Amino acid sequence: QVKLQESGPGLVKPSQTLSLTCTVSGGSITSGGYYWSWIRQHPGKGLEWIGYIFYTGSTYYNPSLKSRLTISVGMSKNQFSLKLSSVTDADTAVYFCARWSPTTEASWGQGTLVAVSS
Amino acid sequence: EIVLTQSPATLSLSPGERATLSCRASQAVNSPYLVWYQQKPGQAPRLLIYGSFRRATGIPDRFSGSGSGTDFTLTISRLEPEDFAVYYCQQCGSSAWTFGQGTRVEIQ
């Protein structure tokens, strides 16, 4: 059973880059057919899709974040990462990583809270 | 971008009652790409339904998904106390994935 775990700083200063890593256990990111995605949830609000990286390495980003966003596979094949530059307090949220495919059940991490504050 | 509109925003019901939640898309969504989640405070979303109607592992059969095209429905046949939560639909059928804004099912 695949498990995902987010990690990274819980506090980022305004204008800096938010960096998070998702560590995958029980499966390989390079195994076929899966989309490895990031989602966030602002405090008390709904879910917002951030973007994904397909197992081939292709990416697609939320247009509203695209200019500041990079999703990539980490040094370890069992990690993928998110980098969001020039953050403001509007980027304060719980960030989730998830695995999805059209034919199997999605799996999510537990989420990590990132606050943007000086 | 496909916009998902969930209705109602809030559903006030009593345990034992039937809940019907709607998710309407601004463009057609292929059925394999429609997902439903349940979320409780402080928790990650829990997968309920994938592929529009397939129940995820461990999900009780009182939860069912249906629909096609632009109209999808999540039905909870008889509400249990643990079912009071927020429910989200998500589409992964276009390049830009989107979520509905959620339906809160609260105890009347």
Q: What pLDDT does residue A25 have? A: 93
Q: What pLDDT does residue A72 have? A: 94
Cβ–Cβ gap A35/B92 under 8 Å: yes
CA distance A61 to A25: 24
**pLDDT, mean over chain A:** 93
Looking at the complex, does the CB of residue B53 fall below 8 Å from at least one CB of chain A? no
Question: Is the distance from CB of A25 to CB of A78 less than 8 angstroms?
Answer: yes
Which residue is closest to B58 within chain A, CA to CA? A105
CA distance B45 to A106: 10
Please tell me which residue, A33 or B56, carries the higher pLDDT value.
Answer: B56
Question: Is the distance from CB of B98 to CB of B4 less than 8 angstroms?
Answer: yes
Question: Is the distance from CB of A7 to CB of A68 less than 8 angstroms?
Answer: no
pLDDT mean over A4-24: 97
Which residue is closest to B31 within chain A, CA to CA? A102
| pLDDT at residue A33 is higher than 90 | no
Cβ–Cβ gap A105/B50 under 8 Å: yes
Which residue is closest to B57 within chain A, CA to CA? A105
Q: What pLDDT does residue A1 have? A: 86
* DSSP-derived secondary structure letter, B39: E
Please tell me which residue, B56 or A76, carries the higher pLDDT value.
Answer: B56
Q: Count other Cβ atoms within 10 Å, centred on residue B18.
A: 11
